[in-house]
Amino acid sequence: MTTAVQESQPQPSKMVRAKEWSDEVEEAYRFQLAGYRDEVEYKSVCKAEATRWPHNGYIKKLMRKDGNWYYYNKSRECSDKDVPKCKLYVY
Amino acid sequence: MSTGKTLLFENPKTEKKEKYGYKKVKEQDPAFTIQSYMPNAKVAGPPAAGAFKPRKAGPTAFRKFYERGDFPIALEHDTKGNKIAWKVEIEKLDYHHYLPLFFDGLCETTHPYEFFARQGVHDMLEHGGSKILPVIPQLIIPIKNALNTRNHQVVCTTLKVLQHLVVSADMVGEALVPYYRQILPILNIFKNKNLNSGDGIDYSQQKRENIGDLIQETLEAFERHGGEDAFINIKYMVPTYESCMLN
């Protein structure tokens, strides 16, 4: 069953698994840890921009769907063993 | 009272043993007792002082607050357990209240207290910015208590936290210099605690659990971020420390 919020947001047409770490993979890892597909879904659900670290633009904090906050480190968090778990969506 | 010599002749078993080369081991008398003043008394040496022995930490305030549900953190019972879900934004927290409490939990060794204290301290330091510096004086006693447990796991965690603390915000390294007298004695005790494994592999190095190495890293971080007085103050408390910047 799809809700009104899910219907209004754009749906991805393709998904690939990450093969090696990159800034893009790091970004996807942080969103997916908080329970979102990517930034597009975060924006449509929370109606807000994600807070980012000023020096490298990585995600700093995200509000989860239950209203709690997840905080992320300044540096890389996605370890090599977590890379294949990351899903990269294409619209 | 019979002496050791008369006993030897009275007991044939002992005599036989002596014949075959066994030596009769005389029991040692504890020092400062009447027995120790007897003519042929062998006085035992002093017992170990226990400088390296782990000590028990009492019940922490962190545990009390956690069990009462006073922390703004959400419990999660899933498998991806390396993050804390905060109910309130960290920026809005009262650092004077919460940061010393989380530091107090560093003495804990059992789950979940140990995890929440360690991760809570990490998140608050990473995102605290300028709110950390005014709280430094309140952190010293929890840090000292944690190091004083001399527990391997607790000391390792505390050293990593100290390394994070000095880089967490400007001037924090300098603010710690007056408190070296409280923090550094334990570092001095364990500075040489390295495994001599010959040419074998010391796996604790890979896991960053080698106390000797962690202490060296911590002292170097203190010196780098502690300003111009840092080295002389470290040297005063840890005489074997050599500067990583002057040489």
Partner residue facing B127 (CB), from A33, A66, A71: A71
- Which of A31, A55, A68, A85 to probe the B interface (max B CBs under 10 A)? A68
- For A18-52, the pLDDT digits (tens) are 888 998 899 899 999 888 888 888 888 888 888 89
Q: Which residues of A touch B164 (CB under 8 A)?
A: none
Q: Name the token pair of B71.
A: 């922390």
Residue written as token pair 């996605």: A78
Cα B222 from Cα B149, distance rounded (Å): 22
- Is 0.85 exceeded by the ipTM? no
φ, ψ dihedrals at B152, nearest 5°: -55, -50
Q: Is A74 within 8 Å of chain B by CB? A: yes
Question: Is there a contact between A71 and A64 (Cβ–Cβ < 8 Å)?
Answer: no
CB-nearest partner of B86 from A33, A69, A74? A69
The answer to whether residue A71 sits within a structural domain is yes
User: Domain residues for B88?
Assistant: 61-194+203-237
For B43-63, the DSSP string reads BPPPPP--TTS-------HHH
Query: How confident is the model over B67-104, as pLDDT tens digits?
Result: 998 899 887 766 566 788 899 999 899 999 999 999 99
What CATH number is associated with residue B80? 1.25.10.10
Q: Are residues B69 and B12 in the same domain?
A: no
Give pLDDT tens digits for B30-77: 899 998 898 888 898 888 888 889 988 888 999 999 999 889 988 776
Q: Work out how many domains chain A is built from and give that number.
A: 1
- Written as six digits, the tokens of B159 are 């050293």
